[in-house]
């Protein structure tokens, strides 16, 4: 089982990451949390400090992760403060307005930049660190949306799909170095990011459920996990609909 | 999103909009349709947490702790934190809530806004007595920190203020020290009301927690028979039992109420005659929150929902009025397994509209049988009014405006503290 004693969270104030952080703290972990919004990050860190006991270290750092120039420095700082890194969870991202992206190429590029390219930049640096230390877990929140392009959400889907594929290759490479690379594919989650949707119905999950699944997948060194589990079945069907039919559907 | 409802699932009303708060610094509230009203975890009854206009602000997303001073037992947290979350944090550090209602699933904000009370009111007062400070967001965009005894009086308006003085964003509480999570609990049977009064007087002198369950259907000489449950936090023990919490849930809405005259009579008789042990070491969870073990227990009353009737009667009128209330209920032939009798202590509540006051409180649930139930309440209202008593807003879906106004004489003075951007269906109903 992988150790989750010293964990770095990128995008720590996202609802899923926040719940993951609380559960990790309850398990005795020390955390280095990176978030973009200062007020949200302060509220998160205060809360985690109340939940932690004395020897646990809880640090926060305000940074915009789309500014890739900061990545190397952030990893170094986390390593220094935690005295080494056992695992990393990359949880930041945006949910693009698909319609707006269709009308605006630079917005589309910006979304791909945020959700895929900046993450790939971060992963490239992290991969070398982890390869050197010959142990650890890198977990990334991708999405079921990355499994197949759909008219309603393909900018987001393409970015997450790129991540999923990148992680596949990285997993293959780092397997020799005893490092686990975990791709997390949540379905619909009841978070501020999805506030615009009607969230009634059985498919919607709570962030704390997803967080529990993430921690388990990281501990067990899983490769790809759908959260909750039933999305695996749903996506299996969606992936296997012939393109000839799929292109006429409005999913 | 399904429409937020109150715990008794009555009345069924829909706001114009619902907005889920996730950060206490959220200032996007200016654009929302007004009036606003906070909705916590949906544990109050009736319509104090509902509105037919404007926007319901869901506060459960404000669930962060802010500071916990483990030496002094002072906890500051966001208003959407539940009492269960607080207890999970503070009990292992040797602290406890000095006042807690019969569910730990209420939020801190809701506990302040209804100035809730517990089995130890006679010793510790109500929830508001343990609030050191709170922060209000007002609809004009101002943010006000209130403390007890503030010159403006906004603190005492907000304690028991039914969420009308603005949005409570965080609360600072003074906790109470304990030695472990266990309670010494003693149960004693009493054969009628007369025995209750005598027993209760003695119990309150020597136990910090005391509450009575009564068989609301017993008549004649057995009227008011029941069981008095007293408790205290256990001192350090050489050995403690093991406690594992189990919770069950009622999976579906039942089409009709499982509680009727027949099932209730059988249940009450069995419950009354259960074998009682003298003093038992009981974990705080089953002692304080027996019903929390059954999630959605409100579903047993069926699709039509239910009412709770909770009143308080001043000391000098209490014996006669309680007897008369029980008499009326027993003749009606229905009531609830949950019939609770408790005397409040003399500590004056801090809130202008607080329910707890010296006297005796009686609380019962009734399945909603339409007019028949409402007619019973009118008869009970007459007794309460006659005795100079009051009903509990946090448990009410139907009290007449006149009864509210006579029970809460400060309601007009309270008016100037109301945030003009806030209102509830309850408030509109009782201030007609």
Q: What average pLDDT does chain B have?
A: 94
* Domain B182-407 fold: Alpha-Beta Plaits (3.30.70)
**Interchain contact A235–B (C-beta under 8 A):** no
B75 pLDDT tier (thresholds 50, 70, 90): very high
Cα angle vertex B141, ends B39, B147, to 5°?
70
Q: Which residues, other chains included, contact B80 with Cβ-Cβ below 8 Å and sequence gap of 6+?
A: B21, B40, B41, B59, B60, B61, B62, B63, B107, B108, B109
B2, B20, B23 member nearest A43 (Cβ): B23
Per-residue pLDDT, averaged over B73-87, amounts to 98
Instruction: Give the per-residue pLDDT at B201.
Output: 95
Chain segment B31-72, per-residue pLDDT in tens: 899 999 999 999 999 999 999 999 999 999 999 999 999 999
Rounded Cα distance, A177 and A175, in Å? 5
Mean of all residue pLDDT scores within chain A = 95
pLDDT at B222 over 70: yes
CATH code: domain of residue A198 = 3.40.50.720
Query: From B19, which residue of chain A is nearest by alpha-carbon distance?
Result: A195
% of chain A with per-residue pLDDT over 70? 100
Strand B167-174 relative to strand B131-137, pairing = antiparallel
CB B312 within 8 A of CB B359: yes
Q: A38 in contact with B at a CB cutoff of 8 Å?
A: no
Kindly write down the DSSP assignment for every residue of A107-169, as one continuous string. Answer: HHHHHHIIIIIHHHHHHHHHHHHHHHHT-EEEEEE--GGGGS--TTSHHHHHHHHHHHHHHHH
- What residues of chain A lie within 8 A of the CB of B24, using their CB? 43
pLDDT grade for A190, boundaries at 50, 70 and 90? confident
Residue A90 within a domain: yes
Question: CA dist B46 to B5, B294, B394, B429, Å?
Answer: 9, 21, 7, 11
* Contact yes or no for A184/A207 (Cβ under 8 A): no
The pLDDT assigned to B1 comes to 55
Dist CA B115 CA B131 (whole Å): 10
Look at B66 and A192 and tell me if their CB atoms are within 8 Å.
no
Contact B68 A47 (CB under 8 A): no
Question: Which residue of chain B has the CA closest to A46?
Answer: B66
A190-199, B257-266, B343-352, B403-412: range with lowest mean pLDDT: A190-199
Of the candidate ranges A212-221, B71-80, B180-189, B272-281, the one whose mean pLDDT is the lowest? B272-281
CB contact under 8 A, B65 and A195: no
Nearest partner of A232 among A183, A162, A163, judged by Cα: A183
Residue A1 placed within a domain: no
Residue range A192-220: average pLDDT?
A: 88
Per-residue pLDDT band at B301 (split at 50, 70, 90): confident
Classify residue B114 as exposed, middle or buried by CB count within 10 Å of its CB (0-12, 13-18, 19+). buried
Q: A50 and B66 in contact by Cβ < 8 A?
A: yes
Contacts of A246 (CB under 8 A, 6+ apart): A148
Q: Quick one: pLDDT at residue A42?
A: 97
The per-residue pLDDT for B188 is 95
Nearest CA in chain B to A39: B25
The mean-pLDDT minimum among A82-86, B303-307, B400-404 falls in B303-307
A45 neighbors A126 (Cβ within 8 angstroms) = no
Domain interval for residue A128: 6-246
Q: CB-CB: which of A15, A50, A195 is closest to B68?
A: A50
Residues constituting chain B = 432
Per-residue pLDDT tens digits for A24-34: 999 999 999 99
Chain A: closest CA distance from residue B68 (Å)? 6
3-class secondary-structure state, position A96: coil
Nearest to A40 among B23, B66, B89 (CB): B23
Q: In which element (H, E) is residue A227 found? A: strand A224-227
Question: What does R_g of chain A's alpha carbons equal in angstroms?
Answer: 18
The answer to whether residue A201 scores a pLDDT higher than 70 is yes
Q: Which of B1, B64, B67 sits opposite A199 (nearest CB)?
A: B1
H-helix or E-strand containing B20? strand B17-20
Q: What is the pLDDT of residue B248?
A: 84
Q: Is the distance from CB of B343 to CB of B317 less than 8 angstroms?
A: no
On whether residue A186 sits in a domain, the answer given is yes
Q: What is the pLDDT of residue B265?
A: 87
**Percent of chain B at pLDDT exceeding 70:** 100
State the nearest Cα–Cα gap between A43 and chain B, in angstroms: 7
Structure confidence at residue B255 (pLDDT): 78
Q: How many domains does chain A have?
A: 1
The DSSP annotation for A59-84 comes to: EEEE--TT-GGGHHHHHHHHHHHHTS
Q: A–B: how many Cβ contacts below 8 A?
A: 32
C-beta of residue B20 within 8 angstroms of C-beta of residue B131 = no
Confidence grade of residue B428 (pLDDT, cut at 50, 70, 90): very high
Distances (CA, A) of A91 to A15, A211, A212, B417: 9, 11, 14, 43
pLDDT on residue A198: 72
- The ipTM assigned to this model is 0.92
| Chain B environment of A39 (Cβ under 8 Å) | 23, 25
Nearest Cα of chain B lies from the Cα of A26 at a distance, in angstroms, of: 10
Higher pLDDT, B335 or B288: B288
pLDDT-derived band at B100, boundaries 50, 70, 90: very high
Is there a contact between B355 and B390 (Cβ–Cβ < 8 Å)?
yes
pLDDT digits (tens, 9 = 90+) for A24-62: 999 999 999 999 999 999 999 999 999 999 899 999 999
The residue of chain A with its CA nearest to that of B3 is A200
Cross-strand partners of B212: B228, B341
Strand B36-39, strand B55-58: pairing: parallel
If DSSP codes are grouped into helix, strand and coil, which group holds residue A53?
coil
The pLDDT score that the predictor gives to residue B302 is 86
What is the percent of chain B with per-residue pLDDT over 90, rounded to a whole number?
82
Q: With respect to residue A251, please indicate whether it lies within any of the assigned structural domains.
A: no
Looking at the DSSP bridge assignments, the partners of residue B311 are: B362, B391
Buried b (16+ CB within 10 A) or exposed e, B354-363: bbbbbbbbbb
- The secondary structure of B197-252 as a DSSP string is HHHHHHHHHH-SEEEEEE-TT--GGGTT-EEEEEEEE----SS--------EE--S
CA-nearest residue of chain A to B77? A47
Q: What is the pLDDT of residues B347-385, one digit of tens each?
A: 999 999 999 999 999 999 999 999 999 999 999 999 999
Quick one: pLDDT at residue A7? 98
Domain boundaries, chain B: 182-407
Q: Is residue A172 part of a domain?
A: yes
């Amino acid at each position: 089982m992988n150790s989750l004693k010293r964990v770095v969270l990128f995008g720590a104030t996202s609802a899923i990451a926040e719940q993951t952080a609380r559960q990790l703290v309850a398990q005795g972990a020390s955390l280095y949390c990176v978030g973009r919004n200062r007020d949200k990050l302060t509220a998160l860190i205060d809360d985690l400090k109340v939940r932690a006991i004395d020897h646990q270290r809880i640090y926060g750092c305000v940074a915009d992760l789309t500014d890739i120039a900061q990545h190397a420095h952030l990893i170094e700082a986390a390593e220094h403060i935690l005295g080494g890194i056992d695992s990393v969870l990359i949880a930041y991202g945006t949910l693009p307005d698909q319609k707006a992206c269709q009308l605006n190429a630079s917005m589309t590029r910006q979304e791909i930049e945020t959700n895929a390219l900046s993450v790939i930049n971060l992963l490239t640096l992290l991969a070398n660190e982890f390869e050197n230390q010959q142990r650890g877990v890198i977990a990334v929140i991708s999405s079921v949306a990355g499994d197949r392009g759909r008219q309603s959400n393909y900018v987001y889907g393409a970015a997450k799909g790129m991540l999923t594929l990148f992680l596949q290759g990285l997993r293959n490479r780092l397997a020799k170095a005893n490092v686990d690379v975990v791709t997390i594919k949540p379905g619909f989650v009841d978070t501020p990011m999805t506030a615009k949707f009607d969230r009634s119905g059985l498919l919607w999950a709570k962030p704390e459920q997803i967080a529990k699944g993430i921690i388990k997948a990281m501990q067990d060194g899983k490769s790809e996990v759908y959260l909750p589990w039933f999305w695996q079945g749903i996506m299996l069907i969606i992936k296997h609909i012939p393109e000839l039919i799929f292109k006429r559907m409005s999913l | 999103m399904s429409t937020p409802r109150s715990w008794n699932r009555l009345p069924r009303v829909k706001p114009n909009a619902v907005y889920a708060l996730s950060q206490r610094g959220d200032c996007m509230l200016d654009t929302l349709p007004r009036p606003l009203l906070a909705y916590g975890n949906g544990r109050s009854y009736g319509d104090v947490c509902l509105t037919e206009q404007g926007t319901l602000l869901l506060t459960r997303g404000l669930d962060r702790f802010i500071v916990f001073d483990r030496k002094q037992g002072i906890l500051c947290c966001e208003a959407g934190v539940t009492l269960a979350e607080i207890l999970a944090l503070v009990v292992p550090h040797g602290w406890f809530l000095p006042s807690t209602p019969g569910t730990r699933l209420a939020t801190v904000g809701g506990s302040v806004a209804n100035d809730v009370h517990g089995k130890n009111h006679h010793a510790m007062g109500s929830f508001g007595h343990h609030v050191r400070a709170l922060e209000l967001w007002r609809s004009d965009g101002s943010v006000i920190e209130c403390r007890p005894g503030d010159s403006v009086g906004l603190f005492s308006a907000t304690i028991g203020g039914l969420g009308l003085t603005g949005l409570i964003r965080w609360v600072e509480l003074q906790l109470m020290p304990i030695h472990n999570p266990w309670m010494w609990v003693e149960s004693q049977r009493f054969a009628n009301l007369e025995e209750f009064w005598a027993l209760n007087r003695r119990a309150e002198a020597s136990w910090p927690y005391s509450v009575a369950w009564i068989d609301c259907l017993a008549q004649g000489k057995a009227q008011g028979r029941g069981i008095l449950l007293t408790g205290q936090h256990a001192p350090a023990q050489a050995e403690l039992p093991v406690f594992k919490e189990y919770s069950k849930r009622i999976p579906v809405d039942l089409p009709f109420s499982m509680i009727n005259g027949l099932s209730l009579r059988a249940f009450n008789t069995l419950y009354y005659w259960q074998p009682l042990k003298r003093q038992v070491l009981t974990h705080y969870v089953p002692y304080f929150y027996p019903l929390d073990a059954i999630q959605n227990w409100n579903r047993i009353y069926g699709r039509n929902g239910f009412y709770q009737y909770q009143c308080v009667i001043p000391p000098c009128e209490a014996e006669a009025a309680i007897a008369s209330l029980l008499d009326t209920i027993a003749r009606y032939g229905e009531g609830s397994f949950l019939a609770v009798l408790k005397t409040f202590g003399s500590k004056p509540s801090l809130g202008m509209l607080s329910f707890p006051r010296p006297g005796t409180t009686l609380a019962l649930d009734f399945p909603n049988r339409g007019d028949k139930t409402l007619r019973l309440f009118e008869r009970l209202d007459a007794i309460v009014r006659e005795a100079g008593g009051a009903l509990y807003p946090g448990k009410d879906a139907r009290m007449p405006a006149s009864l509210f106004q006579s029970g809460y004489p400060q309601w007009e003075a309270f008016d100037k503290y109301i945030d003009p951007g806030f209102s509830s269906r309850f408030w509109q109903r009782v201030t007609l």
